[in-house]
Amino acid sequence: MKRLTLLLIAGLLALPQTVMGAETSNIRLATTTSTDNSGLLAYLLPEFESDSGYQVQVIATGTGKALRHGRNGDVDLVMTHAPDAEAEFVQRGYGRLPRQLMANDFVLLGPVADPAGVRQAPNVQAAFTAIAEHSAPFVSRGDESGTHIKELAIWQAAGIQPEFTGYAAIGQGMGPALLTASEMGAYVLADRGTYLAFKDKLALEICLEKDAVLLNPYQVILISQTRYPDLNHNGAMVFSDWLVSDKGQRMIDDFKINGERLFQATYTPATLPVGAQ
């Protein structure tokens, strides 16, 4: 009997760590390609992992797909940038404790020649209208991302169905969309952070910026404990707390490329998060 017990213990010790419960040291995060392509996560995660002992596994995709991972219980938390979709995600009971984390903004990029005359447009809706009227090349991510959602909202506000000849939805992330637009000499809506990270590779310039419509806020949202009790809720909370801590917010503010800050930390405990009950 003693020999059998020893054999059982030895067998358990030989099992993969995930079976033994070491998965609690891993946090699964679904987030947008902008936080990954910009280099922000590569900058933040080593510091968090050193501070906490957790390891973060990142799924970088569009906001729509990131929230879908949350709805399916595939991840422990999400970090996204589509306020209306996030509010619905929380209100329908999939997410909890949404926190306004940071913000950057969108910019409308285009070729130096600016064939649609976008630089003279008074606002982004007028710029989109000019692009459609000229049937100028326009690259859309077409991937249900926060950027794609924002782009579609601008077309809708302008009263335009984006079906003109130059419109191309590629179904890919921000980096590939920027490179495609550069190769095509096309206009593209991009978050400023990813644009700055790719700027040296692009034959594109900012044609329109600093429109209030182009504000781009990010939230971090935990996944429902009620729906998915087996997720790593403790680790997700530790990560969310770290991101909104003084250190996390300071690091977000300090993240720069070529001297330009990519994101502005925005968390304030007194602010009611979007979608909170």
Q: How would you label 108-127 residue by residue, b for 16+ Cβ within 10 Å and e otherwise?
A: bbbbeeebbebeebebbbeb
> How many other C-beta atoms lie within 10 A of the C-beta of residue 133?
12
In a domain, 69, yes or no: yes
Domain that holds residue 98: 2-104+217-265
What tens-digit pLDDT sequence spans the chain (277 residues)?
444 333 333 443 343 333 333 347 999 999 998 899 899 999 999 999 999 999 999 999 989 999 999 999 999 999 999 999 999 999 999 999 999 999 999 999 999 999 999 999 999 999 999 999 999 999 999 998 889 999 999 999 999 999 999 999 999 999 999 999 999 999 999 999 899 989 999 999 999 999 999 999 999 999 999 999 999 999 999 999 999 999 999 999 999 988 999 999 999 885 444 444 3
Instruction: Judge if 127 and 92 occupy the same domain.
Output: no
In a domain, 277, yes or no: no
In a domain, 273, yes or no: no
In a domain, 67, yes or no: yes
Instruction: Judge if 163 and 123 occupy the same domain.
Output: yes
Instruction: Judge if 183 and 62 occupy the same domain.
Output: no
Q: What pLDDT, on the 0 to 100 scale, is given for residue 268? A: 86
Residue type, 214: L
Instruction: Judge if 97 and 163 occupy the same domain.
Output: no
CA atoms within 13 A on the CB side of 243: 28
Contacts of 1 (CB under 8 A, 6+ apart): none
In a domain, 71, yes or no: yes
Instruction: Judge if 42 and 123 occupy the same domain.
Output: no
**Rounded Cα distance, 125 and 133, in Å:** 12
Contacts of 147 (CB under 8 A, 6+ apart): 34, 62, 106, 141, 174, 189, 190, 191
Instruction: Judge if 184 and 126 occupy the same domain.
Output: yes
Query: In total, how many domains does the chain have?
Result: 2
**Rounded Cα distance, 177 and 137, in Å:** 13
Instruction: Judge if 22 and 70 occupy the same domain.
Output: yes
In a domain, 226, yes or no: yes
Q: How would you label 77-105 residue by residue, b for 16+ Cβ within 10 Å and e otherwise?
A: bbbbbbbebbbebbeeebbbbbbbbbbbb
Residue 149 sits in a domain whose CATH number is 3.40.190.10
CA of residue 225 relative to chain centroid, distance: 23
- Determine the 3-state secondary structure of 163 from DSSP: coil
Return the ∠ at Cα 60 (arms to 217 and 78), rounded to 5°. 55
pTM listed for this prediction = 0.80
Instruction: Judge if 39 and 72 occupy the same domain.
Output: yes
In a domain, 259, yes or no: yes
Instruction: Judge if 83 and 206 occupy the same domain.
Output: no
